[in-house]
Structure 1
Amino acid sequence: MSLEFFLTSLFVVITPGTGMIYTLACTLGFGLRSGLLGALGGTLSIISHITAAILGLAALLHASAMAFQVIKFAGVAYLIYMAYKMLRDKSQLNAQALGHDDAQPRSDFIIVRDGILLNLLNPKLSIFFLAFLPQFVDVNAANPVVDMAMLGGVFMVMTFGVFAIVGVAAASVRDKVLAQPSVMNWLKRGFAATFVALGARLALSEQ
């Protein structure tokens, strides 16, 4: 694996997106453990995109405008739903409801599930991996599929590592943030607005 692959992957991973925003929201709302579960969900969603790229499903999405649009707008709808849920959920990012402990109003399963779905319904990721991974596979490799899978695995490890660091950083200031309900309310609105903005960006994206 080349240095170029690591540097390019790191640049892609540290670019703020739904997974990172979701990790931040979970950490500030429910504590580090939930933040790490959110990071896990965002990372696990990559498996489907890497698999789609390896199996050529991403090429089908690229060729089929209908399939791409259906999955894309399902992803947009889910991002908007997450924004709505964040604004309506009185316990999420609520200092008075959560106190200063790591109480978990939502189950671990739901946190991981939402993290997976946020990225799972983005067809651009499958197409990205289809274009990205083959660039770092030797054309003379005995089994390029295995090499692509290994590169995808390294990308996932890097993704979880960066998300985890973001979660730890957010957890270090969580008590101070929780002590200021007005700040929490603005953060909640900010996260919701970010999900809407990401949904709008996805809606305007082309194949």
Structure 2
Amino acid sequence: MDSGVSRHMTSTLYLLKDVKSIRGGYVGFAGNQCGQIVGEGTLTNEKVAFKNVNYISELENNLLSISQICDKQFSTHFTDRECLILKPGFKIPEEWIIMRAPRVNDLYVMNMSTASTSSGSAQCFISRASERESVLWHRRMGHISLRKMNHLVHKNLVEGVNLRNFQLTEDCLDCKKGKKMMKPHPKKLVNSINLPFEGSLCMLLL
């Protein structure tokens, strides 16, 4: 699934049905490489069919164009685990939308130089905190453990923290000092003091 490709394309010929040879144009790849469109056919899984899929033998990955899918009145939804193709007619509530990327020809262009949020507040998409940021929030949160820091932000139990994953590679020196305890003196089996204040006098002489 690719929002940066304008047409469906594949290098796996056996996936296509009703293939016909064509003399198409060239498609540019990364690294100044390119491949020629030499055929097209239909790709289907018996539930949905994609027509006019370009066959390019030099292509390394099979690509489905998001814009071409949306032209069939379907919509797509991406998460951190999967991409969903939704039935025609599905609409996202306006209050759920924080940014828009208008379609320009067959690509979706996001203009980050202007405020394109639908709500008035700015949004932060940073998830992993740097080492310096993690140390800073560790101090702000009263030197709690790393596990507890991540638990608070993952469960939305603290306000004002845009970061979602803290990392600490070094132990906190202040935490070590706070947990440090004096090692107790070993118990003496035989009493070596015979006179009052003899132990204090020995310490003063030393």
Quick check: which one's helix share is greater?
1
TM-score, length of structure 1 as denominator length: 0.21
Quick check: which one's strand share is greater?
2
TM-score, length of structure 2 as denominator length: 0.21
Computing the radius of gyration from Cα coordinates, the structure with the larger value is: 2
